[in-house]
Amino acid sequence: MIDKELAALIVDFVEKVGLLRRDLQQKQELEKYEGRVARIEQKLSALAEKVSADDPALAKALRTAWQLPARSLAFRNAEHQKKS
C-alpha cells in the first residue's frame, strides 16, 4: 500500500505530464515527441496495473490524471475546497 501523501504526489506529477501532452497535442507538436509520449504512457499503464491490485482507486486516479488531466485537476480542486 502506498502512503497517501506519496500517492497524491504521484497523481499530481502524472497530471502535469498529462497537461503537457495535451498542450503539445493542441499546438500540433505532439508528432515530434510521439515515441517518447508513447513510452511514458506505456510505463504509466504498467504502474497503474501494478498498483491496481492493492489500491484500485489510486490506479483509476493515475489513469484519469493521464487521460483527462484537466478533469482530474478540477476534481482535486473541488475536493480541496470541500475540506476548506
What pTM was computed for the model? 0.81
At residue 50, does pLDDT exceed 90? yes
| Distance between CA atoms of residues 52 and 18, nearest Å | 20
What the block records as the C-alpha cell of 48 is 497503474
Q: Which string of b and e fits 43-69 if b means at least 16 CB within 10 Å?
A: ebeebbeebeeeeeebbebbbbbbeeb
Identify the band that residue 52 occupies on the pLDDT scale cut at 50, 70 and 90.
very high
- The tens digit of pLDDT for each residue in 53-84 reads 999 999 999 999 999 888 777 766 666 667 76
- Residue-level pLDDT at 61: 93
Query: Longest Cα pair distance anywhere in the chain, in angstroms?
Result: 42
In 3D, which of 56, 84, 60, 82 has the Cα closest to residue 71? 60
- The tens digit of pLDDT for each residue in 10-37 reads 999 999 999 999 999 999 999 999 999 9
Total domains present in the chain: 1
Domain that holds residue 79: 4-83
- Residue-level pLDDT at 54: 93
